[in-house]
């Protein structure tokens, strides 16, 4: 199989690339990325063809998609706060960008496209856990752009017979996630602060909860999906239904680093949802053999990676 990963220099994309290069089913791997948030260092040591540029550039996209059998489309401008500051850029990259990727796939006869949507599409819907067919209530431009991502993927399946699969990722964490920009996610920010013995900044009371999903589990499912060409008529939650609050994550990190961590509470952030947990019955039906990485193990692995590659101080 000739596989293209868009956004392959990013956090999830580079973890997937590392898994895919060792897979006998993947004969050729290429990556399309404009390095808006990803880095080439994420791909250090990997033998892959990198097409530099944007999914919004037709020529670049054509070059990357031509000859591919499958695409995992991860390129996007992630982050709710980023989209609140600049909704138009998020829309272009995430909504228009997805449509362009699907159109390129259609024109080049690509056999299968997997896209990345987000649990943020549930937004205002308080149901817990969230089944896929409940109502969506996006609370930010980012969430709207991800709703467009999955809707375009499914519309291409119905309208043009292009086999697609739209996953709703929940809070993915693990090695190679960035801690060092204004829109960094909570786990890498917490891990980095904990390892450096700095106070952890918590928006709100810290009782907000998330279905934290280790990137290894996510990538195993993505690769299995392309290997078996899994498609589905509805979006599929990709998380394991294990919801914990932020204070629990901090407590786990205290165990890992072996000391107390100072918490500093800030005002809650606009656009953030209070609780998030996947109903993952559809995921388990489609991918019965995949097992989640327990939070304790996932956080320890993440902390070890940050300690070796970013902080470079002894752990504990
Ligand atoms: P990331 O920022 O690390 O990766 C995104 C990659 O896309 C980056 O390498 C970036 O440079 C690239 N990119 C951005 N705009 C581009 C463009 N116009 N053309 C080409 N490349 C472009 O983020 P991530 O966490 O790895 O997220 C991957 C996907 O998963 C995104 O679609 C994101 O919306 C989705 N997602 C992630 C999470 C999570 O918890 N990490 C949760 C829900 C959904």
Give the chain's domains with CATH numbers: 2-172+213-238 (3.40.50.720), 174-210+241-311 (3.90.25.10)
pLDDT score of 186: 94
pLDDT digits (tens, 9 = 90+) for 87-129: 999 999 999 999 999 999 999 999 999 999 999 999 999 999 9
Contacts by residues 259-263 (CB-CB < 8 Å, ≥ 24 positions apart): 259/197, 259/316, 261/193, 261/194, 261/197, 261/199, 261/200, 262/198, 262/199, 262/200, 263/199, 263/200, 263/202, 263/206
CA of 229 to the centre of ligand 1 (A): 22
Which of these, 264, 252, 258, lies nearest to 302 by C-alpha position? 252
pLDDT score of 183: 79
Looking at residue 119, the DSSP 8-state letter turns out to be G
Q: Whose CA is nearest to atom 33 of ligand 1?
A: 78
Confidence tier at 291 by pLDDT (50, 70, 90): confident
Ligand 1 atom with the shortest distance to the CA of 39? 9
CA distance 129 to 268: 22
Instruction: Give yes or no for residue 316 having a pLDDT over 60.
Output: no
| 3-state per-residue secondary structure call for 129-168 | CECCCCCCCCCCHHHHHHHHHHHHHHHHHHHHCCCEEEEE
pLDDT score of 300: 97
Which of these, 50, 57, 45, lies nearest to 29 by C-alpha position? 50
Q: Which of 10, 58, 235, 298 to mutate to test the pocket of ligand 1 (most atoms within 8 A of CB)?
A: 10
CA of 259 to the centre of ligand 1 (A): 33
CA of 23 to the centre of ligand 1 (A): 23
Q: Does residue 175's CB lie within 6 angstroms of at least one atom of ligand 1?
A: no
CA quadruple 215, 4, 156, 58: dihedral sign = positive
Q: Does residue 55's CB lie within 6 angstroms of at least one atom of ligand 1?
A: yes
pLDDT score of 314: 62
Lowest-confidence pick of 226-230, 283-287, 289-293: 289-293
The average pLDDT across 239-254 equals 96
Could you give the angle at the alpha carbon of 42 between the alpha carbons of 242 and 58, nearest 5°?
A: 100
CA distance 17 to 35: 15
Ligand 1 atom with the shortest distance to the CA of 14? 26
CA distance 127 to 121: 13
Using the structure block, give the residue that is written with the tokens 């063809």: 49
The average pLDDT across 60-67 equals 98
Which of these, 190, 251, 186, 194, lies nearest to 213 by C-alpha position? 186
Could you give the angle at the alpha carbon of 158 between the alpha carbons of 95 and 218, nearest 5°?
A: 55
Q: What is the pTM of this model?
A: 0.97
CA of 35 to the centre of ligand 1 (A): 10
Q: Whose CA is nearest to atom 39 of ligand 1?
A: 172
Instruction: Give yes or no for residue 16 having a pLDDT over 60.
Output: yes
Q: Whose CA is nearest to atom 18 of ligand 1?
A: 54
Q: Does residue 76's CB lie within 6 angstroms of at least one atom of ligand 1?
A: yes
pLDDT score of 181: 83
Mutual angle of helices 58-65 and 97-107, in 10-degree steps: 50
pLDDT digits (tens, 9 = 90+) for 119-142: 999 999 999 999 999 999 999 999
Coil/strand/helix, residue 237: strand
Q: Any bridge partners for residue 113, and if so which?
A: 71, 164
Instruction: Give yes or no for residue 315 having a pLDDT over 80.
Output: no
Confidence tier at 290 by pLDDT (50, 70, 90): confident
CA of 76 to the centre of ligand 1 (A): 4
> Does residue 175 contact residue 236 with C-beta atoms inside 8 Å?
no
Q: Whose CA is nearest to atom 44 of ligand 1?
A: 118
For strand 244-245 and strand 209-210, is the pairing parallel, antiparallel, or unpaired? antiparallel
Confidence tier at 217 by pLDDT (50, 70, 90): very high
The average pLDDT across 290-307 equals 95
Q: Does residue 169's CB lie within 6 angstroms of at least one atom of ligand 1?
A: yes
Instruction: Give yes or no for residue 294 having a pLDDT over 70.
Output: yes
Q: Does residue 235's CB lie within 6 angstroms of at least one atom of ligand 1?
A: no
Coil/strand/helix, residue 234: coil
Mutual angle of helices 97-107 and 141-160, in 10-degree steps: 20
Coil/strand/helix, residue 29: strand
CA of 244 to the centre of ligand 1 (A): 24
Instruction: Give yes or no for residue 47 having a pLDDT over 80.
Output: yes
Instruction: Give yes or no for residue 160 having a pLDDT over 70.
Output: yes
């Amino acid at each position: 199989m000739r596989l293209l990963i868009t956004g392959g220099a990013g956090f999830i994309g580079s973890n997937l690339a590392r898994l895919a290069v060792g897979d006998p089913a993947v004969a050729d791997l290429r990556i399309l990325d404009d390095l808006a948030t990803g880095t080439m260092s994420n791909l250090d040591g990997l033998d892959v063809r990198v097409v530099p540029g944007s999914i919004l550039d037709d020529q670049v996209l054509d070059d990357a998609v031509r000859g591919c059998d499958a695409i995992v489309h991860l390129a996007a401008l992630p982050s709710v706060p980023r989209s609140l500051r600049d909704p138009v850029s998020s829309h272009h990259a995430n909504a228009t960008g997805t449509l362009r990727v699907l159109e390129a796939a259609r024109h080049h006869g690509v056999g299968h496209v997997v896209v990345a949507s987000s649990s943020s599409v549930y937004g205002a819907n308080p149901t817990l856990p969230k089944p896929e067919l409940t109502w969506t209530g996006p609370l930010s431009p980012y969430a709207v752009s991800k709703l467009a991502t999955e809707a375009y993927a499914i519309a291409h399946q119905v309208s043009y017979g292009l086999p697609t699969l739209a996953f709703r990722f929940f809070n993915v964490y693990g090695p190679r996630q960035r801690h060092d920009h204004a829109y960094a996610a909570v786990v890498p920010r917490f891990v980095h602060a904990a390892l450096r013995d700095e106070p952890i900044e918590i928006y709100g009371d810290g009782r907000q909860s998330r279905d934290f999903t280790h990137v290894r589990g996510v990538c195993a499912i993505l690769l299995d999906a392309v290997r078996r060409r899994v498609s589905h008529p509805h979006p599929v939650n990709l998380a394991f239904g294990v919801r914990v609050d932020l204070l629990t994550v901090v407590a786990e990190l205290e165990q890992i680093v072996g000391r107390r961590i100072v918490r500093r509470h800030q005002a809650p952030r606009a656009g953030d949802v209070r609780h998030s947990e996947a109903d993952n019955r559809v995921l388990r039906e489609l991918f019965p053999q995949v097992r989640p990485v327990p939070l304790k193990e996932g956080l320890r692995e993440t902390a070890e990676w940050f300690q070796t590659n970013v902080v470079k101080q002894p752990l504990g």
